[in-house]
């Protein structure tokens, strides 16, 4: 697979690594009609350099075709076809038969194609519709004009995450949700199985550094169910492992967990996964990680790359972004206006990096927009629930998609509904109702403020009264009828200082003329936040330059603009300028 783009296993927290084939690579492609007169490199969108096409013209309909042969060892099993993400609406045919229809550009989908597969060569055809001017569509930072400008970037149309085929047995583990209970040193597991479980068992093994800690077997397993596995700390102590079991950015300890469906003495399905013993809570107005107050130092991450836009050019790109952010003294990121690839969350889990998950916004309010938003966002909470790195959910940002939420009851109701819909699926994380301003029932009180003046920031965030009365960007902190209820206060967008280090032209919310000036300006805004007696965390804008925005700490190609140690020392309060 070394010649295939993005060859790594695409679902790292739910692995069947010996029964799949990666369909990335060269596909037949065409604009508008199914002529297939071009070639494209999947999973990169046609607007990117890595796709091999690299044009930004409007094409609201694109076609893909791929031929493949199923390996011998995958025959006589159920065959699933998976798409990591296709923006925005698509139809899929297999060997001329319609297989599925999917709506939603940021969450993957799967379809069983067992009855459509044949011996020898098979053909997949995909038709994608991505309406450039549709502002009811969740689109995030993808611009509806031909050329990017302001805070909006080049569009992504079509397949932009891995396509793959997987072989599963007639009864297989379909889905898992794992909820750590740090206080009781246990893990609650909810499972879903597809196929008959008559005369079969579901077995679960938990280990840490190859030391077995728990074993649980359900002899009368149903297709859906729950059970609790208790972690045996005494076994760890006897193995001379005295480490704390908690997952933190500083010590990202992960436990291995393996699931088996057994029939008689034979394992017919095996899934390998992992989890972290991590607890997020709010106690007496404090954000708590593992029952202790924790100061979040986040960086805004748009998740764009110069040659591949929303698609990371390779797996190492995720590692690079996280490692560079940690070197600068950040302990997490707010993934902005993008549902990220599961591989990113895997590396955040493994390397120790907090993540705020965020929905890509639509830009008008309508019944159709509400339905689209809810359907896709619920898919995100379903898919990425198990990642210990994710510590907050943000379904709405800066009133995008709810432009009259200050006064409109229906838009406020959407905000409230999203908060409680998320909580109906996930009680383990706080939810931000509308990041930036005009909050409703938010668990965290988050504010966006790009003022570059330290004294103004110190005054504004020195008292609760001044915070509540502040109107950054001319916006009220709470929608009408809603009020502050003692939530933790965080400044979740600020800074945005531009500094041009090459030929790339662009803008920022304020600008620096040199490396020394950049460091001083960075110190001014960050020190003001750190000195606030009320702010419990921040998110600096932003990690990298993106297209015309040159307000990143790193350039678009991930080169530091100044010494990373300076940024780290300022973030840690060790350097005064």
pLDDT tens by residue, 71-85: 998 989 999 999 999
260-265: Cβ within 8 A, 24+ apart = 260/202, 260/203, 260/204, 260/205, 261/169, 261/171, 261/172, 261/173, 261/193, 261/197, 261/200, 261/201, 261/202, 261/203, 261/221, 262/200, 262/201, 262/202, 262/203, 263/171, 263/199, 263/200, 263/201, 264/199
CA 438/CA 471 separation, integer angstroms: 10
Residue 437 has pLDDT above 70, yes or no: yes
Tell me, yes or no, whether 57 and 154 share the same domain: yes
Residue 270 has pLDDT above 50, yes or no: yes
CA 293/CA 52 separation, integer angstroms: 49
Residue 344 has pLDDT above 70, yes or no: yes
In a domain, 245, yes or no: yes
In a domain, 38, yes or no: yes
Q: Which band of pLDDT confidence, cut at 50, 70 and 90, is reported for residue 157?
A: very high
Tell me, yes or no, whether 492 and 397 share the same domain: yes
Residue 404 has pLDDT above 50, yes or no: yes
CA 15/CA 392 separation, integer angstroms: 25
Give me the pLDDT at residue 1, please: 43
- Per-residue pLDDT tens over the stretch 233-245: 888 787 777 778 8
pLDDT, mean over the chain: 96
Residue 221 has pLDDT above 80, yes or no: no
Q: Which residue, among 347, 360, 346, has the nearest Cα to 400 in the 3D structure? A: 360
Which CATH number belongs to the domain containing residue 478 in this structure? Answer: 3.20.20.80
Q: What value does the mean pLDDT take over residues 497-520?
A: 93
In a domain, 15, yes or no: no
Q: What value does the mean pLDDT take over residues 316-333?
A: 98
Tell me, yes or no, whether 152 and 178 share the same domain: no
Tell me, yes or no, whether 424 and 495 share the same domain: yes
User: Helix-strand-coil percent breakdown of the chain, rounded to 5?
Assistant: 20, 35, 45
Tell me, yes or no, whether 302 and 288 share the same domain: yes
Pairing state of beta strands 332-335 and 296-301? parallel
Which CATH number belongs to the domain containing residue 131 in this structure? Answer: 2.60.120.260
In a domain, 576, yes or no: no
Q: Which residue, among 34, 29, 18, 124, has the nearest Cα to 81 in the 3D structure? A: 124
Residue 2 has pLDDT above 70, yes or no: no
Element (H, E) at 121: strand 121-129
Give me the pLDDT at residue 358, please: 97
Domain-terminating residue out of 135, 168, 201:
168
CA 505/CA 501 separation, integer angstroms: 10
Print the domain residue range for 322.
280-571
Tell me, yes or no, whether 502 and 520 share the same domain: yes
Q: What value does the mean pLDDT take over residues 91-108?
A: 97
Q: What value does the mean pLDDT take over residues 489-501?
A: 97
pLDDT > 90: what percent of the chain?
A: 93
Tell me, yes or no, whether 87 and 177 share the same domain: no
CA-based radius of gyration for the chain:
24
Model-level pTM?
0.97
Give me the pLDDT at residue 405, please: 98
Tell me, yes or no, whether 429 and 471 share the same domain: yes
Lookup: tokens for 318? 């995720």
Give me the pLDDT at residue 577, please: 87
CA dihedral 376, 377, 383, 388 (to 10 degrees): 160
Tell me, yes or no, whether 183 and 285 share the same domain: no
Tell me, yes or no, whether 210 and 235 share the same domain: yes
Tell me, yes or no, whether 450 and 342 share the same domain: yes
Q: What value does the mean pLDDT take over residues 390-412?
A: 98
Q: What value does the mean pLDDT take over residues 83-109?
A: 97
Give me the pLDDT at residue 505, please: 85
Give me the pLDDT at residue 222, please: 87
Tell me, yes or no, whether 267 and 383 share the same domain: no
CA 425/CA 393 separation, integer angstroms: 12
């Amino acid at each position: 697979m070394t010649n295939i783009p993005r060859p790594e296993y695409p679902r790292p927290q739910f692995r069947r690594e010996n029964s799949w084939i990666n369909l990335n690579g060269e596909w037949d492609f065409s604009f508008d009609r199914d002529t297939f007169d071009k070639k494209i490199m999947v999973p990169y969108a046609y607007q990117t350099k890595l796709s091999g096409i690299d044009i930004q013209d409007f094409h609201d309909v694109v076609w893909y075709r791929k031929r493949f042969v199923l390996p011998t060892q995958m025959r006589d099993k159920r065959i699933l076809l998976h798409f990591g993400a296709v923006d925005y609406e698509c139809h899929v045919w297999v060997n001329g038969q319609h297989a599925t229809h999917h709506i939603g550009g940021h969450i993957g989908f799967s379809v069983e194609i067992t009855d459509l597969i044949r011996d020898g060569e098979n053909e997949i055809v995909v038709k994608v519709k991505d309406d450039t001017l549709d502002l009811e569509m969740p689109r995030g930072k993808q611009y509806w004009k031909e050329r990017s400008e302001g805070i909006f970037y080049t569009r992504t149309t079509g397949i932009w995450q891995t396509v793959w085929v997987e072989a599963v047995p007639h009864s297989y583990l379909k889905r898992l949700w794992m909820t750590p209970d740090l206080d009781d040193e246990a893990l609650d597991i909810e499972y879903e199985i597809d196929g008959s479980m008559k005369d079969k068992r579901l077995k679960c093994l938990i280990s840490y550094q190859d030391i077995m800690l728990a074993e649980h077997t359900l002899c009368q397993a149903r297709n859906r169910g729950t059970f609790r596995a208790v972690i045996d700390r005494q076994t760890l102590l006897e193995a001379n492992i005295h480490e704390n079991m908690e997952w933190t950015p500083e010590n990202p300890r992960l436990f291995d967990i393996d699931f088996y469906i057994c029939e008689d003495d034979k394992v017919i399905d095996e899934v390998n996964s992992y989890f972290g013993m991590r607890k997020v809570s709010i106690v007496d107005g404090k954000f708590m990680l593992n029952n202790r107050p924790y100061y979040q130092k986040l960086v805004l991450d748009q998740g764009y790359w110069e040659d591949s836009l929303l698609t990371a050019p390779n797996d190492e790109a995720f590692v690079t972004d996280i490692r560079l952010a940690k070197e600068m003294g950040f302990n997490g990121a707010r993934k902005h206006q993008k549902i990220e690839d599961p591989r990113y969350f895997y590396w955040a889990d493994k390397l120790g990096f907090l993540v705020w998950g965020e929905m890509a916004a639509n830009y008008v309010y309508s019944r159709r927009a509400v339905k689209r938003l809810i359907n896709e966002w619920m898919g995100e909470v379903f898919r990425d629930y198990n990642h210990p790195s994710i510590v907050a959910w943000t379904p709405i940002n800066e009133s995008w998609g709810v432009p009259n939420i200050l006064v409109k009851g229906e838009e406020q109701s959407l905000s409230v509904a999203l908060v409680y819909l998320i909580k109906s699926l996930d009680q383990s994380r706080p939810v931000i109702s509308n990041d930036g301003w005009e909050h409703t029932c938010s668990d965290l009180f988050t504010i966006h403020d790009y003022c570059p003046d330290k004294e103004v920031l110190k005054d504004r965030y020195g008292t609760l009264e001044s915070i509540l009365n502040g109107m950054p960007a001319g916006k009220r902190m709470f929608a009408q009828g809603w009020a502050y209820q003692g939530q933790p206060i965080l400044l979740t967008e600020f800074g945005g200082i531009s500094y041009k280090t090459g030929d790339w032209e662009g803008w920022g919310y304020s600008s620096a003329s040199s490396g020394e000036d950049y460091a001083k300006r960075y110190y001014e805004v960050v020190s003001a936040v750190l000195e606030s007696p009320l702010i419990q965390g921040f998110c600096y804008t932003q990690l990298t330059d993106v297209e015309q925005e040159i307000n990143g700490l790193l350039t678009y190609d991930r080169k530091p603009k100044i010494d990373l140690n300076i940024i780290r020392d300022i973030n840690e309060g060790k350097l005064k300028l």
